[in-house]
């Protein structure tokens, strides 16, 4: 169903790909709009228990597209990138996950995941400030889960 990496010499083990997903500061979500056009956008995410999670407003193009079709692709590039002069390339590590997206059901579960997301993006925040922030935005946001069906990692040192 999924094509394997052509350049197997640059392939990373699954554990490395999972680490890239967990540590990357952001990733790119790719999906298909109702009109058939591809749509990709950066999102703040977490990789937790084998799935990718991210938040969304409960309105707009991303939200509508996510509810309209379950197949998505998500990619992330690790922070340690640099040019390789004379080699015409960049040193990097990346992960690409194909999967199916679903809306996280249940307010308690959405809050738990939003707490994990906020902890990643502001590890200095107190639980009180995190709770206040989430509660202030909860009615206008939701959490989506990508159940990963195929994951690859690739890199050049």
> What residues contact residue 94 under an 8 Å CB cut-off, 6+ apart?
20, 75, 76, 77, 78, 153, 154, 155
Q: Average pLDDT for residues 130-157, to the nearest whole number?
A: 93
**Least confident piece of the model among 50-64, 78-92, 100-114:** 78-92
Binned at pLDDT 50, 70 and 90, residue 11 comes out as: confident
Q: What is the pTM of this model?
A: 0.92
Instruction: Give dist(CA 56, CA 35) in Å, integer.
Output: 21
The b/e string for 104-119 (b: 16+ C-beta within 10 A; e otherwise) is beeeeebbebbbebbe
Residue spans per domain, the chain: 8-104+141-156
Q: Average pLDDT for residues 50-78, to the nearest whole number?
A: 96
Q: Average pLDDT for residues 131-153, to the nearest whole number?
A: 95
134 has pLDDT over 90: yes
First-to-last alpha carbon distance for the chain, in angstroms, is 29
Name the average pLDDT for the chain: 94
**CATH-assigned architecture of domain 8-104+141-156:** Roll (2.30)
Q: Average pLDDT for residues 21-38, to the nearest whole number?
A: 96
């Amino acid at each position: 169903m999924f094509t394997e990496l052509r350049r197997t010499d640059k392939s990373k083990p699954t554990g490395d790909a999972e680490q890239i997903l967990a540590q990357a500061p952001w990733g790119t979500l790719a999906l298909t709009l109702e009109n058939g056009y591809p749509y990709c956008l950066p999102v703040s995410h977490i990789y937790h228990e084998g799935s990718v999670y991210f938040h969304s407003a409960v309105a707009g193009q991303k939200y509508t597209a996510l509810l309209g079709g379950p197949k998505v692709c998500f990619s992330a590039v690790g922070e340690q990138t640099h040019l390789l002069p004379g080699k015409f390339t960049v040193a990097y590590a990346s992960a690409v996950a194909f999967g199916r997206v679903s809306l996280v059901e249940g307010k308690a579960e959405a809050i738990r995941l939003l707490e994990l997301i906020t902890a990643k993006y502001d590890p200095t925040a107190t639980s009180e400030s995190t709770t206040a922030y989430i509660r202030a935005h909860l009615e206008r946001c939701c959490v989506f889960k990508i159940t990963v069906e195929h994951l690859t990692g690739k890199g050049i040192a």
